[in-house]
A and B are shown apart, each in its own frame.
Chain A
Amino acid sequence: MKRQTQFNSQEQQQDAQQQQQEQQAQQSAALEFGSAEEMLRHDASRTPVPPGIWRRLRDSLAQLPAAHASWWRRLLGGS
């Protein structure tokens, strides 16, 4: 029983050590880009669009006058 406990404890220590090493590796891993565009592309891919824009846009569109309804129909695929 005691042996089992020691074994578990060792395993936990190893896990913790491994986790720490992985974290350190992640922190020190340099990102490398071949060009400015590549870097910007990466940055753009991890830049989320704020969801509030859509809500505001929807509200703004709802307030448009009826004169704009023709293009609404086009947007919606109507004839």
Chain B
Amino acid sequence: MAEPGPRPALVQHAHRARPGRSSAEPADAPEDSEFAKVYNEHSRAIFYLALRLLGDPQKAEDATHDVFLKAFRKMDQFRRESSWRTWLYRIAINHCRNLQQAWHQRHILSNVDDALWETTAARTDSPLRVLETKELGQRIQTTLDRLPAEYRLLLLLVADEQLSYEQIGALTEQTPDAVRGKLHRARKAFAVLFEKSA
């Protein structure tokens, strides 16, 4: 390992503009730096998780910045056997939890048991429908806000096809079988609440 240099090379390169990049791509970083690659690959997932956990675009933006900064500062704790994705998710989940100190008291329905979903008549086997694309985000947020925190996180993680049940289990501190079991109930709860959000 080389001795630490006075200035990270990335920052020296960082002021070169590059044309033709996507909106999520770092504006000025060299395309081939690992930093830029990690950010490009995972920033959307982290931002989306933060957005839906916190329910506020500005807070989500701040959180995403903080998560990546924290991740890079703690690089020495990063074990290569875990993926960047799960490492970043872990930091993001903890960060969002810290932001919401009253995580479990935030929503009235958070402590309601599953009986509520089980006894509510909802067409959970029917597809979820929404008429206007523009209303989709708002209805999703309303629905997630009313879900118990555990279900909310579970659904957001399961929606990421890059994560296995094993990884989701590790992130939520439970077995993959427990994830599968809770997922069923989480889907049902989401369907019930989504219908009501119309």
Seen from chain A, the residues whose Cβ lies within 8 Å of a Cβ on chain B are: 27-28, 30-44, 46-58, 60-62, 64, 66-79
> How far, in whole Å, are A28 and B133 apart by their CA atoms in the complex?
10
Q: Tell me whether B47 and A49 are in contact (CB under 8 A).
A: yes
Q: How far is the CB of A58 from chain B (nearest CB, A)?
A: 5
Interface residues on B, range: 35 or more
Interface SS of chain B: helix, strand, loop or mixed? Answer: helix
> How far, in whole Å, are A11 and B13 apart by their CA atoms in the complex?
56
Choose one: A38, A46, A51, A72; the contact of B9 (CB below 8 Å): A72
Interface SS of chain A: helix, strand, loop or mixed? Answer: helix
> How far, in whole Å, are A68 and B4 apart by their CA atoms in the complex?
8
Choose one: B6, B33, B47; the contact of A47 (CB below 8 Å): B47
Seen from chain B, the residues whose Cβ lies within 8 Å of a Cβ on chain A are: 1-2, 4-11, 14, 23-29, 33-35, 38-39, 43-45, 47-48, 51-52, 57, 61, 64-65, 68-69, 72-73, 75-76, 127-133, 136-137, 140, 155-156, 158-161, 186-187, 190-191, 194
Q: Tell me whether A31 and B2 are in contact (CB under 8 A).
A: no
Chain B positions within 8 Å of A51 at CB level = 23-24, 27
Q: Tell me whether B23 and A48 are in contact (CB under 8 A).
A: yes
Chain A positions within 8 Å of B7 at CB level = 66, 69
Q: Tell me whether A60 and B65 are in contact (CB under 8 A).
A: yes
Among A32, A39, A70, A76: residue with most chain B CB under 10 A: A39
Among B128, B160, B161: residue with most chain A CB under 10 A: B128
